[in-house]
Amino acid sequence: MPSQRHYSPLDQLLLQADSALRTLLPFSGQPDRLSPASDKPECELSADDNRHVAGLMRINHTGEVCAQGLYQGQALTAKLPEVRERMEHAAREEIDHLAWCEERLRQLDSRPSVLNPLFYGLSFGIGATAGLISDRLSLGFVAATEDQVCKHLDEHLHQLPRSDAKSRAILAQMRIDEAEHADHALEAGGFKFPAPVKLGMTLLSKVMTKSTYRI
């Protein structure tokens, strides 16, 4: 999404609505990068394995919906142009992840979570609030959030069936990208959250993962 520095409040509202629709409407986001699973062979999964992998990919898809909401909210209220541009760039990369997860869910004959609009709205509000407080807090929130995402991806990579090369390739590339987002946020001056705050974020993330695994 282009920088919003020269847009009126109404223009910004329309741009945010467009971003929300492209995030929440299935298969509407256009990735810049080819899915890392595109050259991987499909495998035969048992009914239980297929259901489990679909649940994991649904969690990761909702995680990308949350990331979009977070970054878009932060970009809307960021004070420094370079911070806003950083958020917008990260959001564009997250669209790749969103599209890859959607495609894999379709291949598994499954669907995204019906709770995505709720999580997008909550994430957008958190991101916008953090941006209003300070850019340093906003960047720190990105770093802490991406750290949580990396932990989830590590767990999911461990749980995937060995034969599922497609899902593994997607999550592995996502893991690389998310770690880079966290590092860049800290390098840009992001605040390092203390352990109690990270623990609270972990508990909140468990609510998301538990609810979207099946719903």
Phi, psi of 81 (to 5 degrees): -55, -40
Closest by CA position to 104, among listed 173, 58, 155: 58
- 93 annotated as ligand-binding: no
Helix (H) or strand (E) holding 29: none
Distance from the first to the final alpha carbon of the chain: 30
Query: For tokens 């770690």, what's the residue?
Result: 179
97 is in an annotated binding site: yes
Residue 181 counted as an annotated binding residue: yes
Cβ-contact 159, 177 below 8 angstroms: no
178 annotated among ligand-binding-site residues: yes
From residue 5, how far is each of 80, 82, 119, 138 by CA, in Å?
A: 10, 11, 27, 18
In contact, 209 and 156? CB cutoff 8 Å: no
Q: Which residues are annotated as a binding site for Fe cation?
A: 64, 94, 97, 146, 178, 181
Q: Which residues are annotated as a binding site?
A: 64, 94, 97, 146, 178, 181
